[in-house]
Amino acid sequence: MPEVIRAEGRLDLVITPNQGRRINVSEHINATATITEQVHLTRRSMHYWRVTLDHPPVNIFGPEAIPQLNEVITALETDVEVKVVVFDSAVQGFFLTHYDFLAPIENTTRLPPGPTGLQPLPDMLVRLSRAPVVSIASIRGRATGVGSELALACDMRFASREKAILSHFEVGAGVVPGGGPMARLPRLMGRGRALEVLLGADDIHGDLAERYGYVNRSLPDSDLDTFVEALATRIASFDKRAISETKRFADVASLPPDFEIAPEWDVCFASIMRPAAQERIKKLLELGLHKPGDVENRLGHYVGRLG
C-alpha cells in the first residue's frame, strides 16, 4: 500500500491497519460503525486516486461493503479535482471475487435503490461508468462475479498476464449473473465470446482475456504496476473537462441503457433462491467455497464438477 496522501477532499475514509480486519458477519450486521473497512481510498494526488479492495482472505464482496463502495463512487462523481481512479487489490490472488453467499439475503435485499433507481450494486456500477473520471481496473488475481462486474464497469482494464483470472462462474452454480455482464460483455467482445464467458462459466486467464477483449491488455506481472501508474499519471495531467466531455460522448456509443441492466439483478436473486442454485452453492461451500483454498482459486474447475 502506498502512503496515503490526504487532500482537502470531502471524503475521510478510515484506513485501518491490516490485522483483525475480518470479523464475524452475524456480529456486525446493524453495527455499521464497527464494520471493517474493505474499500480503501488513497489519494495519490488531488487528481489521481486509488481504490484498494481489501477483504482478506479471498476478497469476497458482501452487503457490508456496499455503503463503503458507494461512498467512494459518490466522491468520484462529485469531487471537482479527481480525474482518474485506479481500482486494485491488497489481497494476494484476488482482485475481487464473488458475492457473499453466507450473508443473510435480507442484508442485501432490504437496501434501497440508488439514485439511478437500480438496486445498490448495479446502481454503483453504472454510476462509476458514467462518472466524469477515468476508471482503470488493475487486475492481479481473480476477478469473478462481482469482481468481473466491477472491472467491466471501469472504463479500462489491464491484467497481469500470469496472475489475472477473469470469469463469470455463476451459471455453473445455477445462478444468473446480476451486475450487468450480459449487457456489458457482448458490447465489449461480441456475442460469441461473451456467451462463452457467461455460459461456459470457466476461468479466463490473462492472455485469453486480452485476445477476447475482456481486458484492454494483459501485461507481464512485473510490468503491470508501472504501466498502470504511467497511464494514470498521464491522464491526471490532462484537463478534466476535456476528459469528461470526451468520455460522455463515448458513453453514448458504448454504455448499455440502465433498463437493460435493471432486470439482471432481480433475476439473479430469484435464481439464487431456486433449488438448482441452492444445491450447487451448498456443494461448493462443502468443498471449501468462502475459504482460502483450491475451490476459490479454481472456481471455474469446480463448478464444472457439480452437475
Q: Which stretch binds a copy of itself (CB under 8 A): 31-39, 113-121, 208-216, 284-292?
A: 208-216
Q: Which stretch binds a copy of itself (CB under 8 A): 70-78, 139-147, 259-267, 283-291?
A: 259-267
Where would I find the H helices in 48-200? 66-78, 106-109, 120-130, 146-153, 181-195
Sign of the torsion formed by the C-alpha atoms of 100, 106, 110 and 116: positive
Near a copy of itself by CB under 8 A: residue from 200, 207, 229, 292:
200
Would you say 56 or 172 has its CB closer to a copy of itself? 172
DSSP string, 40-68: EEEESSSSEEEEEE--TTTT-B-GGGHHH
Near a copy of itself by CB under 8 A: residue from 114, 177, 179, 206:
177
Give the contact letters, 59-98, x = binds to a copy of itself (CB under 8 A), - = no.
----------------------------------------
Q: Any contact of residue 195 with a copy of itself (CB under 8 A)?
A: yes
For the packed helices 66-78 and 120-130, what is the interaxial angle rounded to 10 degrees?
20
The amino acid sitting at 2 is P
Give the contact letters, 219-248, x = binds to a copy of itself (CB under 8 A), - = no.
------------x--xxxxxx-xxx-xxx-
DSSP string, 199-244: II---EEHHHHHHHTSSSEEE-HHHHHHHHHHHHHHHHTS-HHHHH
In the complex, what is the shortest distance from the CB of residue 262 to a copy of itself, in angstroms, rounded to a whole number? 11
Near a copy of itself by CB under 8 A: residue from 73, 182, 224, 299:
182
